[in-house]
Amino acid sequence: MADKLIIVESPAKANTIKKFLGGSTKVVASMGHIRDLPKSKLGVDIENDFEPQYINIRGKGDLIKSLKKDAKEAKKVYIATDPDREGEAIAWHLATILKDEEKKITRVTFNEITKGAVQKAIKEPRNIDINLVDAQQARRVLDRIVGYKISPLLWKKVRRGLSAGRVQSVAVKLIVDREEEIEKFIPEEYWNIYANLEDKETKKQFEAKFYGKNGKKQEIHSKEEIDQILKDIEKAKYIVEEVKKGEKKRTPAPPFTTSTMQQEASRKLGFTLKKTMSIAQGLYEGVKIPEKGTIGLITYMRTDSTRISEEARKVAKEHIVSTYGENYYENRYYKTKKDSQDAHEAIRPTYADLEPDKIKESLTKDQYKLYKLIYNRFIASQMASAIYNTMAVTINANDYKFKANGQTIKFKGFMTLYVEGTDGNEKEEKEMLPELKEKQELKLVKINPKQSFTEPPPRYTEASLVKALEEKGIGRPSTYSPTITTILERRYIEKEQKQLIPTELGKVVNKLLTENFTDVINVQFTAKIENEFDEIAEGKEEWKKMIREFYDPFEKELQKVEKELEHIELVEEISDVPCEKCGRMMVYKYGRYGKFLACPGYPECKNAKPIVETIDVPCPKCGGTVQVRKTKRKRNYYICENNPKSCNYISWNKPKPGEKWNPEEAEEIKKKTRK
């Protein structure tokens, strides 16, 4: 009989904790949630003040029996699920199932799975925080109502199996809106003039950019304007008018929150959000390290706080001073954003002495990459600023001004260890200019006018979408990864390289939802609801009251929309392809894998077929029609319509008239399309 029973979510976490506790302690895993709303029905009793109708999750009967038996035999039961709202809700459900042993049950949490943190938590048990539980229940119930009430409309009007959601539908809307911006974008012409200049003394060359005339900034929009300026400065002397020297500091980024970790892992490592969270979970729950056993290497990975403990701050200082020197250390505090939940720390390594390269052999390749990113970001966050020497020069050419900027690094500071990634829009660092003096004449080496066009806003990537969701207050750290995973799996969006692009299905679903549920599927509502969940978590609002206030107007809107859509069929786009079975003109439909052709005579005629994209260049081998197809990795290839019957033409490259074909490509493409 165990003196103590500790219940956690996962076997990995259980194995790590076992190592820190005595032999009379038993540690078991609940394998995540053990109770939830049923999948087959709404599971919320609307008439009984929105009471959730929880059921035991199918397949967990034996586990529940085992947990009850273990609880009965133990003197004390500690529920040590994760330290967030979801973890608190799992603890509450476990306590509900083990209610016969209620007097023995207590709650413990720790932000890191280290011996000290676990032992300290066991000594400081608390009651289950019902406010946190209620915040999770409010999210679960509200999202269930929205999803289960709106989704059937999509089934009727588009196709079965689709889903709507308070957060996922807003995420799709952001991506569709961005795509529409790109499609409507009209490029505008603009010009720049660059002067390659040489310091006559040192012979060092540098580039200056046209600024304007008589000290006023001037934008150039046409070739005519360029020609006039070039004419005016054709024989000009380039005289240094002003030289400004200075210093610039660059401060390190804060330690990781969930969203910044996801963004940086996407930018620097190419990880998807789902992959990042899965690897981080493993690092948090425990990795076997020689001479130390199984230990958690990072703190809890679901957080939107940049706060770090004083103990961690002290350890970081010792590491920085001993590794880099006193002048590389700076004691830094970071402000956590206004709407953040500051329950636990930023994501950081649990042991500063376990440098990534020291334990590389104990980690998988991907674990090492992410651990190194987290480790270096944390240490860098407590390091001194980088310092640059800067120079800004204004050059006069017949009253026209050119400007040049340069900088060199004086002290690398935190940049010795870590530099934050970007989304690709930031300018590169510039080299230092030669030592120039005012009134000095420069030699013109070359004048270079350059025509450019304004570009549309970039498509979202997983990293930039997470950034946008966070900035707009949509969702919370725990929701970003499942939200983006869901809309990819539903095929509302697809990924092309790193870019997120709405599918035709996504556009159709978005149009139906945003036109008919403007009060629910919008950024402001979704952000407002998140704030209300926070109020509930802090005990400032009652969760059922919040659901009541939401439900009445939502139900009225739902009934109105159902009535309006009852006699409206989505207008189907008619193709120019006749159905070979019954002669009707086929229509475009949207399925799981995108657009396809179907006979409008369903169910009498069930003919359907994929849309075949063709090109206007005949097959170089037999003269037949060439089709465009995609591999599973979305790479285009070109194949003759007669392949494999009478022609074996297949190529990665679009054929050109009169071009000879290399048949060696065929086998490679066949391998790629078979995988």
By three-state DSSP, how is residue 614 classified?
strand
CA distances from 480 to 273, 422, 476 (A): 8, 19, 7
CA distance linking residue 458 with residue 290, whole number of Å: 46
By three-state DSSP, how is residue 153 classified?
helix
CA distances from 50 to 145, 149, 465 (A): 10, 14, 33
Which distant-in-sequence residues (6+ apart) come within 8 Å of 584 by Cβ?
578, 599, 600, 601, 605
CA distances from 632 to 206, 272, 275, 635 (A): 48, 18, 20, 7
Segments in 324-459 forming alpha helices (H): 365-380
Q: Are 259 and 455 contacting, i.e. CB atoms less than 8 angstroms apart?
A: no
Which distant-in-sequence residues (6+ apart) come within 8 Å of 213 by Cβ?
399, 400, 401
Four-CA torsion 302, 132, 309, 16, nearest 10 degrees: -60
Token pair of 107, please? 């709650």
Task: Residue 509: name the closest of 182, 156, 180 by CA.
Answer: 156
Q: Of the listed 54, 78, 284, 300, which one is catalytic?
A: 300
CA distance linking residue 236 with residue 193, whole number of Å: 15
My answer on whether omega of the bond before 644 falls inside 30° of 0, hence cis, is yes
Q: Is 300 a catalytic residue?
A: yes
My answer on whether omega of the bond before 255 falls inside 30° of 0, hence cis, is no
Task: Residue 207: name the closest of 408, 442, 451, 454 by CA.
Answer: 442
CA distance linking residue 425 with residue 92, whole number of Å: 46
Q: List residues with catalytic annotation.
A: 300
